[in-house]
Amino acid sequence: CESKGRFVRVADADILAAVPALARACGVFAEPAGAAALAGLVTAAADGLIAPTDTVCLVATGSGLKDPGAVAAALSAPSAAAPAADGPVDVDPDPAALDEALSRLNLDQS
């Protein structure tokens, strides 16, 4: 195959965990089907199919507005991958303060 494409199997729980992770990391409000690509990426990386230096493009195709019930279930599901915040985080209106808060939550983009 020219693309060297692969596929992985992911559990429903991993897909549900990807919904809030995608929202936190990228600000994308996806339904579970739309977040399945992120769950697959996490699995593929854990399985060694994707190297840390690889460039990857994910396409989230399903808006969270399409299936709000599924999104509500995903947001109430426990997630081991969720950042260690116990609720909203107050951040001063300053880029440096935002960078520091994102870094504390392991969400910095650097």
Global pTM reads 0.62
pLDDT above 90: residue 27: no
* Residue 60 pLDDT: 84
Report the percentage of the chain scoring pLDDT > 70: 83
Contact (Cβ atoms closer than 8 angstroms) between residue 64 and residue 19: yes
Element housing 15 (H / E): helix 12-26
More confident residue, 23 or 10: 10
The alpha carbon dihedral of 15, 57, 45, 98 has a sign of negative
Position 105 scores a pLDDT of: 74
Q: pLDDT grade, residue 80 (50/70/90)? A: very low
Q: How far apart are CA 100 and CA 86, in angstroms?
A: 17
How many angstroms separate the CA atoms of 63 and 68, rounded?
9
Across the chain, what does the average pLDDT equal?
81
Neighbours of 38 (CB within 10 A): 23
82 pLDDT above the threshold of 90: no
Domain boundaries along the sequence of the chain: 12-79
CB 37 within 8 A of CB 58: yes
